[in-house]
Amino acid sequence: MSNSLKIAIVGAGVIGLYLAWQLSLKGHKVFVYEKRSEKDFGDKPCSTLVSERIRDFIPIEENTIENKIIGCLINFPEKTVRLDFRPIHLALSRAGLTAILLEKAKSAGAEVFFEKEIKGIPQGFDKIIGCDGGLSHIRQALKLPMPRFRLGLQLFERQEDDYNLAETWPVNSGFIWRIARGREVEWGILADKEKALPEFRKFLAEKNIDFIADQLGQPIGLKSAIVPQGMVLPEEKNITLCGDAAGMVKPWSGGGLIWGLKAACILLETFPNFEAYHKKTSRFFAFRIAKGRLADFVVHFLGQKAPFVLPSRIVYDNDFPIL
Ligand SMILES: Cc1cc2nc3c(=O)[nH]c(=O)nc-3n(C[C@H](O)[C@H](O)[C@H](O)COP(=O)(O)OP(=O)(O)OC[C@H]3O[C@@H](n4cnc5c(N)ncnc54)[C@H](O)[C@@H]3O)c2cc1C
């Protein structure tokens, strides 16, 4: 193919591998660089709770689904509000999801290099896409600002449970969640960096959660990662960012997979014109980010201050809520 381009993708997370697969199918020569090893690259802390919209992007194999989640209970101090998810959500195995994408990317012709940490901007490529997560080196090398972020912590309790509702408890600057995953129960918190661990420990102690602690009382197996909150895109013609690297994350839930995949689709539609991608993506997400922040503020404000105003049950599109 005469207009085949040589493309570097930094980061073999869900978004990097999805783009590698799709750009290879278009006939481009794609090289993916991942700093982690092939054994543990799919082990990023992430609940991988996604709406069934994931199937519009990736063929999900049944054995990667750990549980089907039809909604979420928000436990305010004086009232519990039930959100009925439309579409329903799937609690997926993160490692299983990345394994599907790695196989797709490789069989479409992408070359994936593990244990290759990129420092600075890779040279010798027509196009460079930073999919290297919330702390993106590509974003830093372009001297772009770090988006606002919160910290996500995750822990597993050995308990079989296939309850089909997730639960959340609002805390200072964020929320705690519980997701039954069949063979185990996941607990997590998304909150400001300094508050996340103390809030989480206090909550787990109050609920008598049977986690295994070290000598200092810290939960063993606790995983953490930052969750960016707000969009950052470069103005370059040949370098861009996608997924967490560009802060494409739902501000209310911290979920970034469907938004990152949606942004990846805009990148594919407009490829190789990164300026068009930046314009179209900003237009698509800016309003949704503002609307999501406002909806989250209103629900949490009312939940704390005037819970009687909130209905007990709300049908809710968790990817693109309607105000
Ligand atoms: C605790 C927690 C729970 C979450 N739960 C959900 C959820 O339920 N649903 C949801 O939709 N989202 C969730 N998220 C958010 C979700 O994990 C991210 O939005 C998503 O993983 C972003 O994918 P990505 O491919 O953009 O980045 P990442 O998954 O972060 O992948 C980036 C990759 O780049 C690699 N990398 C980084 N720097 C370099 C470098 N210099 N050179 C080479 N490689 C590099 C990393 O090793 C990594 O493999 C959660 C996040 C956290 C922290």
Tens of pLDDT, residues 293-321: 888 888 888 988 999 999 999 999 999 88
Q: Report yes or no on 174 lying in a domain.
A: yes
Degrees to nearest 5, angle at CA 211 with 206 and 216 = 85
Q: Report yes or no on 255 lying in a domain.
A: yes
For 244-261, what is the mean pLDDT?
95
For 66-87, what is the mean pLDDT?
96
pLDDT of residue 290: 86
Question: 220 and 214 in contact (C-beta within 8 Å)?
Answer: yes
Q: Report yes or no on 321 lying in a domain.
A: no
Q: Is residue 11 lining ligand 1, measured as CB closer than 6 Å?
A: yes
- Is the per-residue pLDDT at 216 higher than 80? no
pLDDT of residue 298: 87
pLDDT of residue 323: 58
Tens of pLDDT, residues 24-42: 999 999 999 999 999 999 8
Ligand 1 atom nearest the C-alpha of 243 is: 26
Q: Is residue 117 lining ligand 1, measured as CB closer than 6 Å?
A: yes
Q: What is the DSSP string of 300-311?
A: HHHHHH-GGGS-
Question: 134 and 225 in contact (C-beta within 8 Å)?
Answer: yes
Q: Is residue 181 lining ligand 1, measured as CB closer than 6 Å?
A: no
pLDDT of residue 81: 94
- Is the per-residue pLDDT at 233 higher than 60? yes
Tokens (6 digits) for 172 = 């200072």
pLDDT of residue 84: 97
For 182-207, what is the mean pLDDT?
93
What is the spatial distance between Cα 16 and Cα 14, in angstroms, rounded to a whole number? 6
Q: Is residue 187 lining ligand 1, measured as CB closer than 6 Å?
A: no
Beta bridge partners of 224: 153
Q: Which residues have a Cβ under 8 Å from the Cβ of 154 and sit 6 or more positions away?
A: 45, 46, 47, 186, 187, 188, 222, 223, 224
Q: Is residue 100 lining ligand 1, measured as CB closer than 6 Å?
A: no
Q: Choose the weakest-confidence range: 52-61, 154-163, 201-210.
A: 201-210
Q: Report yes or no on 154 lying in a domain.
A: yes
pLDDT of residue 292: 81
Q: Report yes or no on 66 lying in a domain.
A: yes
pLDDT of residue 157: 86
Residue nearest (by alpha carbon) to ligand 1 atom 3: 46
Q: With CA atoms as reference, report the closest residue to 110 among 241, 175, 17.
A: 17
Q: Report yes or no on 1 lying in a domain.
A: no
pLDDT of residue 10: 98
Q: Is residue 254 lining ligand 1, measured as CB closer than 6 Å?
A: yes
| Residue among 21, 33, 41, 47 to mutate when testing ligand 1 (max atoms within 8 A of CB) | 47
What is the spatial distance between Cα 19 and Cα 274, in angstroms, rounded to a whole number? 14
pLDDT of residue 300: 83
CA–centroid distance, residue 244 to ligand 1 (Å): 6
Q: The CATH number of the domain where 25 resides is what?
A: 3.50.50.60
Q: Is residue 49 lining ligand 1, measured as CB closer than 6 Å?
A: yes
pLDDT of residue 212: 63
For 212-218, what is the mean pLDDT?
68
pTM of this prediction? 0.96
Q: What is the DSSP string of 20-69?
A: HHHHHHTT-EEEEE-SS-TTTTT--S---EEEGGGGGTS---GGGEEEEE
Domain with 54, as residue range(s), is 6-316
pLDDT of residue 211: 67
pLDDT of residue 124: 98
What is the tally of structural domains in the chain? 1
Ligand 1 atom nearest the C-alpha of 257 is: 11
